[in-house]
Amino acid sequence: MFRPRRQSPKLDGGSERGGGGGNSGRPKCACPPVRQCGNSDEELPDVRRNRMSMTNAQRASRLELIVVGGYNGQNFDMEETRNMYKFNHAEQYWDFIGEMPAPRFHHCAVVHDPHIYIIGGASVNCTEISAMTGNDAQILSPTNTVYRYTPEKKEWAEMPPMATRRVYHTAVCAFGNIYVFGGQDEDQTILDSVEIYDIHKRVWSTGPSLRRPLMGAAAVVTGGAIMVSGGITTPTVLRGPTCDRFNVINRVHSLDVYTHTWSSVPSLPVPLVHHSALSINGEVLIVGGATAGYPKAEEAAKPHLLSRSDIFSFNAVTKMWELVATMPEARANCGAAVIGDEIVVAGGQGVKRQETLDSILRYDVYPHICGPGVAMPSRRVALALVAFPSFKVPPRPVVASKADMGTQLTLMHPQTTLAGWHQY
C-alpha cells in the first residue's frame, strides 16, 4: 500500500462524552458565544487582505460544483435519483450533465483528479413483494459497487467492488488511497470495519478497525491523519448511560495514515449523526447533522432525529471544539463542499421530519466577499456534493524571475471565524 511522507503528528487525546438532553429537544451546548466577522477591510488583518492576488470569485470559477445522487426524502424517483447536475457559474443555474449507472443515496463521493469515485450506498429493490400487504415493497439494498466518473469525457467505469456492502458509511481520499469507514450492511449490522482502496494498483485492502461500530459518522483529512466524528453505534459498546434513544455519540477519533493507529480526539460538544466534516485553510469544521429529538407527549411513541444548524470548529491550539456559527436552516444528511474560501451546503433534511430541502447555503470565510448560488432543480437528501477542478479553465501560469528562484513564500492563515451565511 502506498505510504505517504509524514507531514504532521497525530492529534492528542481528550474527553469522550458530551452534554445531555433538554426540554428543547436538543442537548445543551456549553460553547462560547458565536463570534462575528466584520464586513470592512479595515477590520480584517493585513495577512488576510493581501494573502494572494486571485480573488475568491476567480478561485471558485476554477472549481465545478457537482450534485451526485440523493432522493426526495419521501418516495424513490429512480429517474431523478440517477440525475447529475453541475452548477453553471456563467449562466447561474444547475445544468443537467447525465445519469449515474445506477440510482444511489446514502453513498459517498470523493475526488481524485481527474475522476470522481462513487462508493457504495443504497439502491432500491422494488421486486420483493410484501407478505403482509401483497404490494410492491421498496427495500433499501446496501451495495459494494465503486463507479468512477470522468467529468471531462463524461465517461463511467466500474472499479473493483468493496468486500462489504455498505450504506450510511463515510469515506475520504488521501495520499493516493480511498478510505471507507463503518456503515451498515445488508443484515442491518452496524460495521466497525475499514477498507482502503489503492487508486494506482486498483486493489482493496483491510484497514485498522474503528474503535466501535459506526454508521452516519463523518470523516475529514487533516494533516497526516483522518478524523472520524460522531455517528450511531451499537448500544452494547457504550459505557455508562446512552446519549439518546438512537445511540448517537459525540466521540471523535483520529487515524494516523502512516502508522495505521487510532487515537482519541476531544469529543464534540453534542452527539451528532449524518453531519458533514470539512477542512478549509487548515481548519476542521463540522456542519449540521442531527441528534435525538425528544418528542412531545402526543408523540411519545415516535422518537426521531432532530436536524441541527450548528457549525463547530476544532481549535488545534486549545484542542477544543468551538461553536462558531449557525446556519439559517437546520439540516442533516446534506451535501457539503469547499470551493475557494466558501463552504457550500446543498439540500438535506430540515427541522420538520418530512421536510426535504432544495436550497443552497454558501458561506464565505471572509464576509466582505459573497459568492452566487441558486436552489437545486429538485429537493434532495442523502446526496453527495463535490467540488471538482474545472477542465475548461487552464491553470494560471507562474512567472518567476531568477532573483525569485530558491525563495519560498509562506502564506500564513490565522484561524478564521464563521459568520454571515447567505441563502439564495
- Interval 289-303: pLDDT, tens: 998 776 555 554 455
pLDDT band at 388 (very low <50, low <70, confident <90, very high): confident
User: In this model, does residue 10 exceed pLDDT 60?
Assistant: no
Task: Tell me what pLDDT residue 365 has.
Answer: 67
User: In this model, does residue 217 exceed pLDDT 90?
Assistant: yes
Task: Tell me what pLDDT residue 406 has.
Answer: 40
φ/ψ bin of 134: left (φ > 0), alpha (ψ from -120 to 50), beta (otherwise): left
**Which of 62-76, 329-343, 352-366 comes out lowest in average pLDDT?**
352-366
Provide φ and ψ at 299, rounded to 5°. -115, 25
Provide φ and ψ at 79, rounded to 5°. -65, -45
166 vs 34: which has the higher pLDDT: 166
Q: Distance between CA atoms of 19 and 29, rounded to whole angstroms?
A: 7
| Mean pLDDT of all residues belonging to the chain | 76
- Quick: pLDDT tens for 118-157: 999 998 765 443 333 344 445 678 999 999 999 989 999 9
User: In this model, does residue 11 exceed pLDDT 70?
Assistant: no
User: In this model, does residue 19 exceed pLDDT 90?
Assistant: no
Interior/surface letters 134-159, b for 16+ CB within 10 angstroms, e for the rest = eeeeeebebbbbbbbbebeeeeeeeb
Q: Distance between CA atoms of 347 and 339, rounded to whole angstroms?
A: 17
Provide φ and ψ at 236, rounded to 5°. -70, -15
Contacts of 63 (CB under 8 A, 6+ apart): 339, 340, 387, 388, 389, 390
pLDDT winner (highest mean) among 54-58, 166-170, 341-345: 166-170
User: In this model, does residue 404 exceed pLDDT 90?
Assistant: no
222 vs 400: which has the higher pLDDT: 222
Domains and CATH numbers, the chain: 41-393+410-423 (2.120.10.80)
User: In this model, does residue 261 exceed pLDDT 60?
Assistant: yes
Over pLDDT 90: what percentage of the chain?
47
Q: Residues 207-214: what's their mean pLDDT?
A: 96
Question: DSSP readout, 279-327?
Answer: EETTEEEEE--EEEE---GGGTT--EEEE--EEEEEETTTTEEEEEEE-
pLDDT band at 9 (very low <50, low <70, confident <90, very high): very low
Note whether 304 and 294 are within 8 A (CB). Answer: no
User: In this model, does residue 43 exceed pLDDT 80?
Assistant: no
Task: Tell me what pLDDT residue 233 has.
Answer: 92
- Grid cell 467529468 — which residue? 151
- Quick: pLDDT tens for 301-353: 455 788 999 989 998 888 999 988 888 889 999 999 998 778 899 999 988 66
Provide φ and ψ at 82, rounded to 5°. -85, -15
